[in-house]
Structure 1
Amino acid sequence: MKYVLPFHFVFEPMIRLAVISFKEDEEFEDFEPQFFDDPINGRGIRLLRYRKNGKVDVYYESGINHDESFSVGAGIADLKMTHFEKNFFEVTKNGLQVHLIFTDKQGRKNELKVIETSKRKRPVPLLAPIGGRIETPQKLFFVYMYDIDFAYRKTTQIHCSLDERVLEPATLPLLMNGQRTYLTRYCSKLTIVALNSNGSKPLCFDAIPGKIVIHDETEIHCDAQGKINQIQIGQGMYSAKLHFPGGFPNLLELPESECIKGSFDIYISSNKITEGQYQLMKIAEQVHVELNQFKKWHPGRYPLAYKLLVTFVKIFKNWPTKYSWKGKVELKEPSLMDGQWQNRLDKNA
């Protein structure tokens, strides 16, 4: 039996990342080094510089495969392959270690250096609201950090400069593990999951009702009535799934001109990230699809400082509730999907 589903659910690999925030700089709010080592992204460092106006600069090594559809913030400003004279980025048992030196498009020498010698680090899992500020999202993606931590001020040296101008690191007005910290956070274990990236195809496969089928490394659970209970990628700790409490219908079996509604849950590593609603309407050989009403992430039992962070910081409170997707699936051979994400962006987030 052939199935067509309006979902493209995949991992986006990344090894580690850090975000170093600055206070009262005239030009930049954050620097975000990322390290990749996979067939999709290549191997090396990509650095994002977040500007005060919402635009983002992207600098990357020659070993990185740049994605032309990459979108972040209010759009891309500088985009340049570069040579990092210093390109060290590690996370050790004593915390964050970064040293990057490169020349930007304006001809300025950029240096970012973070050396942490902290002890008794206590990282926690956290869903990062990284997509919350994207004005024109190309996908809905979730960055789940298994071991996020903050740099302790007492045992961390941070230096960032553009030529002679020094950027002062921002501090966090909360004690983390009883320590004063910088607003510098990082992780070395994370899972990134993307849903319905622009230009992606629908999920098409053959299955027998009541059986589990493996299609392109995706595990799909079909119930005895022919509906889909679950779509899963990965295994164990590094896994993610779309779960449908009432089952998701095969688009090929939908009745004509009847509105079908239901709900779904998104899990990463057995942790529920969010839930949402879907709506389907088949008209001739085309199915109109809406995904919306996403719920905010609830972290469960957490240290007090993290509870305050996700409760009162607006971007955490709203993520991912502002996202919605409208699209169409063509049922003729080959089945095609076209859709667009919207983010009802809060300019004050």
Structure 2
Amino acid sequence: MEPIAAMLNCELADHPVYDGVEIQAFDDEVHGSGLLCFLSRRADRTVVDPDAPGSVEACADASSIHGVAVVLDGASARLSLDPPLLDLRRLDAGDRVEGRWAVSVGGTAITGGTWTAGRRDDVVDVAMAVTRRWRPEGLPPLMRVVTAVAPVFRTWPTTYRWEAEIDLAREVARHAGWRRTTAGDTSYRRLTRSA
């Protein structure tokens, strides 16, 4: 199938929320075959995948991502990236970019930190370090006491870091996941008597 024939774009001139739709066909060894459908929100040009429980919020020119939002059964969560994370394929070898990220649930800030992406040849190393401790709001009185007496419940997020190694040539993550950054911190294990 010709690349141009595999895409359909159209403007939604009179729709109150969305201003465009794009349908793309794909057929390759890595991803298989299928169709993707994206909507563009009129207010901020955010690109929305209507089949996902959330949406990737791309900048208007689609060169970077400024957030990911999920709404499911009336609950919402959002990951914000500042500055927006560039399309990793646009980084030149030796380039490194960085910024800050934050997570909110129901509009309340939960935690956050820093993100970095650095390219070496056809590999990009991406990391998200948690630097902001959990600051719960609106807790029931008993939970407020527990988190005040045992502050480990507020600081545990800062003991983790997410890392990924992306192979651009194969368009696949060689490694991706969370890891503990403070091996010597046993306060949570002592408090919860967990392994």
Q: Bin the TM-score by the shorter chain.
A: 0.5 to 0.7
Aligned 8 A contact 1:294 1:323 in 2? no
Secondary structure, counterpart of 2:158 in structure 1: coil
**Structure 2 unmatched ranges of 5 or more:** 1-35, 189-195
Aligned to 1:227: 64
Structure having greater relative contact order (Cα 8 Å, sep ≥ 6):
1
State how 1:258-337 maps to structure 2 within 5 Å.
258-302=95-139, 304-337=141-174
Secondary structure, counterpart of 2:82 in structure 1: strand
Count of matched residue pairs: 145
CA positional deviation for 1:318: 1.7
CA distance in 2, matches of 1:301, 1:340: 30
Aligned to 2:48: 213
Aligned to 1:255: 92
Aligned 8 A contact 2:164 2:173 in 1? no
Which of the pair has more CA radius of gyration?
A: 1
Structure 1 or 2: more helix by fraction = 2
CA positional deviation for 1:327: 2.4
Amino acid at match of 1:324: R
- Cα deviation digits, residues 41-89 of structure 1 (max 9, x gap): xxxxxxxxxxxxxxxxxxxxxxxxxxxxxxxxxxxxxxxxxxxxxxxxx
Cα RMSD (Å) of the superposition? 2.8
Change in 2 beyond 3 A, CA 1:240/1:300: closer
Change in 2 beyond 3 A, CA 1:212/1:269: same
Change in 2 beyond 3 A, CA 1:327/1:336: closer
CA positional deviation for 1:290: 1.6
State how 1:67-216 maps to structure 2 within 5 Å.
210-214=45-49
Aligned 8 A contact 2:56 2:68 in 1? yes
CA positional deviation for 1:304: 4.9
| Identical positions, percent | 19
CA positional deviation for 1:255: 2.7
CA distance in 2, matches of 1:236, 1:270: 15
- Cα deviation digits, residues 204-236 of structure 1 (max 9, x gap): x89789441317504111113422121122346
Aligned to 1:59: none
CA positional deviation for 1:332: 1.9
Amino acid at match of 2:152: I
Change in 2 beyond 3 A, CA 1:281/1:206: farther
